[in-house]
Every structure is written in C-alpha cells, then in structure tokens.
Homo-oligomer: A and B are copies of this chain.
Amino acid sequence: MARDQYLRAHLMGINTHEEPIVFMRDDCAICRAEGFTANTRLQVRTAGRNLIATLHTVSAEVLPGGVIGFSDGAWEFLGLTPGQEVEVRHAPLVHSLSALRKKIYGNELNATEISGIIRDISNRLYSDIEIAAFLTACATGGVSRRETSALTNAMVRSGNRLQWPEFPRIFDKHCIGGLPGNRTTPIVISIASAAGLVIPKTSSHAITSPAGTADTMAVLTEVDLSLRQLQQVVIDTGACLAAGGRVGLSPTDDILIRIERALNLDSEGQLVASVLSKKVAAGSTHVLIDMPVGPTVKLRDQEQAQRLSLLFSEVAEDLGLHLRCIITDGTQPIGYGIGPVEEARDVLAVLHNRAEAPGDLVDRSVLLASRLLAMATGDDDQGCELRARELLESGRALRQFERICAAQGGMKEFREARHRAPLRAGRSGVLAAMDNRRLAQLAKLAGAPSSPAAGLRLHVKIGEPVTEGQPMATLLADSPGELAYAQEYYRRNHKLFYVAEVAEKGA
C-alpha cells in the first residue's frame, strides 16, 4: 500500500450515535485514486485497530488537505489522538453477505453461515441497513430451532463468558417484555438470593419499552460494573443486579438491539437467541422465563406463548441449559409506575412491605421467585410460594437487596420529574381494559427511559370505578416539549384506557 494512503486524523465534534462516519474532502487524491464517493464503505486502519465506516465527503472549506475527520463514536472506537496517521482503503468484501441474501430469499442457514454473519456484524463490517435486512428476514421468514441454536452459540462466542468455579449451579430469570411496570426482577433476585440461590443478574436497557431492569436499577444504584466488579459482588452476596453493557456478554446482541429498537421489532428466533446467549455467556445453568400473555403485550395468546415456550425449551436442550417457562397474565400493567424512577418507587414499596405497595407486583414477584426455588430444590410449587412470601414479608429480601446495592456502590437518591400533567377520564363507568402498547408509547413520548424520571403513574386498575374528569394517571416529563407531545398523543388515543358504561340497576 503506497505511503499516500495515509491521512491525519481530526475529531469533527459530530455525534452520529453508533454508526461510524468518516469525513474526507471530495477533491482529495485518495478519493480520486480509489474512487471513493459519498456513502462508500471504507476500512480505516491504525497500528492497533481497524474499523469499517461510511464516508461523507466534505467541501474544501470544511477540512484542510491530508486530513480525515471522524465522528465521535468512530474516534473513540479507534482510540485516536489528534493528528495521528491512519490508513484508508476500500472496505473488504464481506463474505457473509451471500448468506444474508440466502436468508432474505427465505432459505434456512447452517451454523457456519450464521456464525459468519454474527462474526462480521460483531466486527462492525455490516452497515445499519444490512443489519436491518438480517433482522427483518429473520422476523418475516422465521428462524428454525437449528438456526436459533446456531445463532445463540455464535452470539455467545462474540463476547466474554463468565466462569463461576466456586458455584455448581447458576440461576437466572428473564421476562418476555411488553408489559409496562412489570419490574419483578429486583424483588425476585432479592428473594432467591436470600434463599441461597446464586443468581448473577445482568439486564439490558429497554429495547422498545419505556424501561428495562437496567434502567430502573440505574436509578437505585450503580449498574455499570466491570466484569471483575460484577464477579466480586456475586461472590460477596450471591447475586447482582447489573447492566450487561460493560461486561461484554454477547455484545453483538447489543448491536442487533439498537436496530431492533429503531424498527420497533422483535422476532421469536432473535428473542430466544438474544435471551439465551446472555444466559449462557453469564454462565447460567438454570433459567426461568416469565411470559406475560395478553391482547396488547408481545405474546398475544396462549398458542403463541406455547410456541415460544417450545422453542425456548428446544434451544435450551441444545445448549445444555435447565429451563422453565411460566405463562402469566399480561392484560394490564403490573404496579402503578411506568418509567425507570416510577418503577423503582414500586420496587422499594414492595421490598419495604409498605401499605401502598402494589399487590399485583408482590404476587407476581413471589410467584416467580417460588418457581426458581422449586427448580433449585425440587420441592412442590405451593410450598415454595409460601417460602418466597415469607422471605419477602420478613424483610430478608429487603436486607439482601440492600447488600447487593451496597456491594455495587451504594444506594442512589432519585429526583422528581420537572413537569407533570393529569390524564383525565373521558367518561364515567368502570375501567374495563388498558392498552399496554399505547401506555408504553405514551411513557416513551414523555421521555422514558432516556429521561429516567419521565413516564406515568397510574391511579386506576382494571375493574375499578371511574368518574368523568378523574385523573386516570399522571404524565411525567423533563421537558415541556415532551410533555406536550405525550399529551397530544393521549388526546388522539381515547382507547388507551377503555372505560365501560355501568349497566343500570336491574338491567
């Protein structure tokens, strides 16, 4: 490669989120010699690392000659210093793209092909639209058991794996989301680890929901642990409640999730691979899956839940995992809060056994914890339920939760949202249904989860009487623009809360 392939690096001060962008003058010698134009995919190499980026060309006033500009993310990924020499060339041919096309045209892929796709995505060789095409082809064409197992293994190999030589059995739980406020994890992990189960829980941030467990836990304590810190917390307390990000478990999943989030997309095969790859990489041996079913959550009916449950069990078998699925009620939100801070309030109320603690969040948490105890002991479900409830009511779960938070760096204070507005009932009657999907959308429009205090606090549950003009919920936001945007959405979506007329006496 000729010496004149080298350019000096310059930080543009432009944040393009995750997509790496480089900036070169359209009149530069390298662009002309190599035939680079706007949107060409380039490989940028330094002594230590290399990166595939998309080129945006700039006019002569923007950059001096011999200089290449970098977006913030590309600069950080390469660990550049100002003026450092970098080499640029055409991006190498990405061989797994032929497997991608095979999948797009509806064919089943073998393990080698899937492994190639995941390796190339993980090495940042795919553009965003190529990743979008892969995820869409999987959603539309479906992903077989063999493909899902291969995908899971490939995703595990793309990152770190936790080893737990001290512990023979590692437990974990996961909820197939879509049910706002269903923040059982901190409570379940506290009960299960209070009972002596080893349960190192790493959670992701929200994909398409207004809060993930990592978002809620980040309100309460430090969740951004290194691999070493996380392992120490688990050795000290038998559990952790950390974010998966810095630990590097199945990092390709995070790349996929970014595009899934932008497309508001979840597919069965991707879902199973995403969940189980994190579990295998975390060293889990026993996994409980919570599957809420209802007309406005991810799993619409029993049939869909049974099918997913079967795929989970089959892939778990291929991977040598013990796995149990539990199908739960998903007709309305669990608890009263939606959004990181509001869900954290509900979690603390339950752990403290406060009078205002949402009863449904208590019951759901006890149910899930009991099934973990049953997997661990082989005892019957009913006995385990009594034991789980006793661990919560006695305050042992709370003390265990506080130990975990202390080990992770101490409890945090959280602040109120800056702006709030009541969402009022349009008529009197009985609350007959809520639309989980629209409630989630409303909380996201208000700014959750990126504004942790944003979201909703519900004041009514299904079956309760409602009077016209009564606040059904309080909308919480950190900016007036987001508040107004969410209010406009509420005004245009009357079926968000469905209030049924009460039958007249004697009718």
The answer to whether residues A15 and B129 also contact, given A34-B482, A141-B141, A447-B35 and a CB cut-off of 8 A, is no
* Cross-interface CB contact of A133 among B61, B127, B265, cutoff 8 Å: B265
Number of identical monomers bound together in the oligomeric complex = 2
With a cutoff of 8 Å between Cβ atoms, the chain B residues found around residue A128 in the complex are: 128-129
Q: How far is the CA of A110 from the CA of B35 in the complex (A)?
A: 43
Q: Interface with B: A100-108, A214-222, A352-360, A380-388, which one?
A: A100-108
* Cross-interface CB contact of A14 among B23, B130, B139, B264, cutoff 8 Å: B23
Dominant secondary structure of chain A at its interface with chain B: mixed
Report the minimal beta-carbon distance from A13 to chain B, rounded to whole angstroms: 4
Q: How far is the CA of A93 from the CA of B264 in the complex (A)?
A: 13
Cβ of A61 and Cβ of B485 under 8 Å apart? Answer: no
Q: Interface with B: A52-60, A313-321, A362-370, A498-506, which one?
A: A52-60
Report the minimal beta-carbon distance from A109 to chain B, rounded to whole angstroms: 13
* Cross-interface CB contact of A129 among B26, B37, B61, B132, cutoff 8 Å: B132
With a cutoff of 8 Å between Cβ atoms, the chain B residues found around residue A33 in the complex are: 479-481
Chain B residue, CB-CB nearest to A106: B140
Cβ of A262 and Cβ of B34 under 8 Å apart? Answer: no
Chain B residue, CB-CB nearest to A485: B90
Cβ of B105 and Cβ of A14 under 8 Å apart? Answer: no
Per-residue interface assignment for chain A, residues 421 to 459, with 1 indicating a CB less than 8 Å from any chain B CB and 0 otherwise: 000000000000000000000000001001100000000
Cβ of A61 and Cβ of B450 under 8 Å apart? Answer: no
Cβ of A58 and Cβ of B262 under 8 Å apart? Answer: no
Asked if A259 is at the interface (CB within 8 A of a chain B CB), the reply is yes
Chain A, 111-129, CB within 8 A of any chain B CB: 127-129
Q: How far is the CA of A398 from the CA of B34 in the complex (A)?
A: 38
With a cutoff of 8 Å between Cβ atoms, the chain B residues found around residue A479 in the complex are: 32-35
Asked if A478 is at the interface (CB within 8 A of a chain B CB), the reply is yes
Cβ of B12 and Cβ of A62 under 8 Å apart? Answer: yes
Cβ of A482 and Cβ of B13 under 8 Å apart? Answer: no
Query: Which residue of A39, A105, A129, A130 has the most chain B CB atoms within 10 A of its CB atom?
Result: A129
Q: How far is the CA of A223 from the CA of B307 in the complex (A)?
A: 56
Q: How far is the CA of A358 from the CA of B283 in the complex (A)?
A: 65
Chain B residue, CB-CB nearest to A57: B15
Chain A, 58-100, CB within 8 A of any chain B CB: 58-59, 61-62, 71, 89-90, 93, 97
Q: How far is the CA of A489 from the CA of B140 in the complex (A)?
A: 33
Report the minimal beta-carbon distance from A41 to chain B, rounded to whole angstroms: 9
With a cutoff of 8 Å between Cβ atoms, the chain B residues found around residue A58 in the complex are: 12-15
Chain B residue, CB-CB nearest to A480: B33
Chain B residue, CB-CB nearest to A36: B481
Cβ of B23 and Cβ of A59 under 8 Å apart? Answer: no
Asked if A263 is at the interface (CB within 8 A of a chain B CB), the reply is yes
Q: How far is the CA of A199 from the CA of B101 in the complex (A)?
A: 36
With a cutoff of 8 Å between Cβ atoms, the chain B residues found around residue A139 in the complex are: 104-105, 137
Q: How far is the CA of A167 from the CA of B448 in the complex (A)?
A: 60
Cβ of A481 and Cβ of B38 under 8 Å apart? Answer: no
Report the minimal beta-carbon distance from A62 to chain B, rounded to whole angstroms: 4
Query: Which residue of A58, A90, A136 has the most chain B CB atoms within 10 A of its CB atom?
Result: A136
Asked if A302 is at the interface (CB within 8 A of a chain B CB), the reply is no
Asked if A229 is at the interface (CB within 8 A of a chain B CB), the reply is no
Report the minimal beta-carbon distance from A24 to chain B, rounded to whole angstroms: 10
Report the minimal beta-carbon distance from A444 to chain B, rounded to whole angstroms: 11
Q: How far is the CA of A106 from the CA of B35 in the complex (A)?
A: 40
* Cross-interface CB contact of A450 among B37, B56, B59, cutoff 8 Å: B37
Between-chain CB contacts (< 8 Å), 22 pairs: A12-B58, A13-B58, A13-B61, A13-B62, A14-B23, A16-B38, A17-B38, A34-B479, A35-B447, A35-B450, A35-B481, A37-B450, A97-B264, A101-B264, A129-B129, A129-B131, A130-B262, A132-B132, A132-B136, A133-B265, A137-B139, A140-B140
A-B pairs with lowest CB-CB distance, top 4 = A13-B59, A34-B481, A136-B136, A129-B132
Binding site for B on A (CB under 8 A): 12-18, 23, 26, 32-35, 37-39, 56-59, 61-62, 71, 89-90, 93, 97, 101, 103-106, 127-133, 135-137, 139-142, 259, 262-265, 447, 450-451, 478-482, 485, 489
Additional A-B contact list (14), CB under 8 Å, known A105-B140, A127-B262, A129-B129? A13-B58, A16-B39, A18-B39, A33-B481, A35-B479, A39-B262, A93-B489, A104-B139, A106-B140, A128-B129, A133-B133, A137-B139, A137-B140, A141-B141
